[in-house]
Structure 1
Amino acid sequence: MKHPVIQLDDGKAASNLELVVATVVLALLLQIFWRCYRSFYLDHVKKYISSSSSSAAASSLEPSRIAAVEDILNYTFKDKRLLEEALTHSSCRESMSYERLEFLGDAALHLTIATHFFRLDPKLNPDQLTRLREKSARNERLAHVAARLGLYQYVRTRDTAPLNRNVKKYEELVKRGTDHRNFTVRSPDILADIVEALAGAVYVDLNFDSAKLWTIFKDVLMVDEIKLPKEHDSREIINGAQHELYGLCGKRKWGNPVYTHRLVKVGRSQHETTMTSSVEIKTHDGVLRQEGDEKYIPKDARNSAAYLMLRSLQQSSIM
């Protein structure tokens, strides 16, 4: 019996063969690509993730640093991350710096200090309250506090060698007890920033309770060292009398104060020449005039006249 012979077209046979070969080649290429991808992922991506995780872990503050700062503040943080943020300088770019907490802490300290003096003495006027608040929270004072407590050593920084040297020089002057008027180094801004950032961190950790914040930072800032102005002979009140009288006249829509000087004794030098100053203000009820005490410097003479004018207005209940 003869079997039928099937004859394939040469063109179709060649086409089918090419298709098979192409499929095999594509499968091989896909397998090679997959192996390369897996190899790259295992050898490089996982290593990167691992190194990132380890660096993130290393970036956290050591427990000893956290404990040391908590001991300085006499406060234990519920959320330690706030303390880490408050002690991280912007040079550590992989982490959030203390700048946001510094902003909040600056405002919170000013509020608590103002509240303290407002409650402390109801006789203090707005100008006196302002000066007391500024004296307590000015950058130079906060920097002095940070240097005295050694807070900079706990701050996380990177590539800040020049800053480190400036801070070290300033801290040495503070620890030697050098009078701040003789400082040859300007207080580095970062020192005041640290105190404000720590205040911000505590404020947030206390759920924004300003009263509790004050109980913690009144000792840190040593506000009790700030002298309250005396009612009659405080040099601080007298030195600001011109400014206060000018503000009062503007508030009452009176005429601006007008000062005149009179020489009392003329000497060979400034320290031998004395003078007095008189001040006049035009009120709605007429012109008021007040002469000040004898002084050596024109500014002091004007302040004395303005101060005595303010006292006179207070005693007459015109203020």
Structure 2
Amino acid sequence: MQQKLEILQKRLGYQFKDENLIIKALTHKSYKQSYNNERLEFLGDAVLDLIIGEFLFHKFPKVAEGELSKLRASLVNEKSFQKLAEILNLGEHIYISLAEENNKGREKSSLLSNAFEALIGALYLEAGLERAKEISIKLLNEAYPKIDMEAVFRDYKTTLQEFTQAKYGETPEYRLIHSYGPDHKKEFEMAVVVQGKEISRAKGKSKKWAQQASAEIALKILRKGEQ
């Protein structure tokens, strides 16, 4: 156990003075101890929300609040934190029950995401916000070498394509409806069409942005129709 903790801390770039803190951060409730990582997960979630919010605030000084919120939501979520956890190979180090182990718990998105949040919560408690921020941003840059609006939002189009292929056996079509404004400040309106039917429309400062926004709306509409 000690050796595995050393490997993780080396990968993390921080050596915990209180070893119990990192052990608690890695302990899933299924492990049936007198402690688990749920409280640290709660704290880490809040810490990461602040760290990533501040990071985006400085990285995109001209981006409006609404778009910053969407961008933060694309990074502060289970899928994103799973990606950061996988950089650390966190699945190898968590403490879970045999039943959870047999249920492929070490690969579960929610379990990995929660453990990562708990680890950052533990890091914050022991080393403070600046060290937690330094390590979190380093991992974020490793997971997303190109952090920009289009790169992060790409999953809406990918997810919509996977959804329509599974349900209808076809990929969505994106149609340009209108373009507005002068060349230096154009705005585009794009529509998503599935099976010849327009599902949604959205505007953006580039065709790609408008496609992503319309794909997000289309996903909500199509999923709601399944309920």
Pairwise TM-score range, normalised by the shorter structure: 0.5 to 0.7
Q: TM-score, normalised by structure 2?
A: 0.65
Q: TM-score, normalised by structure 1?
A: 0.48
Query: Per the alignment, do residues 188 and 235 of structure 1 end up closer, same or farther by CA in structure 2, a change over 3 Å counting?
Result: closer
Q: Which has the higher contact order (CA 8 A, sep 6+)?
A: 2
Q: Which amino acid aligns with 2:38?
A: E
What's the counterpart of residue 37 of structure 1? Answer: none
2:109 to 182, 188, 195: 188
Query: Per the alignment, do residues 157 and 132 of structure 1 end up closer, same or farther by CA in structure 2, a change over 3 Å counting?
Result: same
For 1:122 and 1:133, the matched residues in 2 are separated by 14
Shift of 1:146: 2.2
Shift of 1:307: 5.4
Query: Per the alignment, do residues 70 and 296 of structure 1 end up closer, same or farther by CA in structure 2, a change over 3 Å counting?
Result: closer
* Deviation sequence 1:275-303 (CA, Å, 0-9, x none): 63699xxxxxxxxxx99557664466x42
For 2:187 and 2:79, the matched residues in 1 are separated by 37
* Deviation sequence 1:95-146 (CA, Å, 0-9, x none): 3101100000011011000001111221011122112222222101212332
Superposed, 1:282-293 pairs within 5 Å as none
Aligned length: 180
Query: Which ranges of structure 1 fall in alignment gaps of 5 or more residues?
Result: 1-61, 171-186, 240-269, 280-289, 309-319
1:123 to 56, 62, 83: 62
* Misfit runs of 4+, over 3 Å: 234-237, 290-300
What's the counterpart of residue 63 of structure 1? Answer: 2
Q: Mark the structure with the bigger radius of gyration.
A: 1
Q: Calculate percent identity across the aligned residue pairs.
A: 26
What's the counterpart of residue 314 of structure 1? Answer: none
The alignment partner of 1:97 has SS state of coil
For 2:53 and 2:16, the matched residues in 1 are separated by 25
The alignment partner of 2:31 has SS state of coil
Query: Per the alignment, do residues 120 and 278 of structure 1 end up closer, same or farther by CA in structure 2, a change over 3 Å counting?
Result: closer
Superposed, 1:84-163 pairs within 5 Å as 84-161=23-100, 163=101
Superposed, 1:210-249 pairs within 5 Å as 210-221=129-140, 222=142, 224-229=144-149
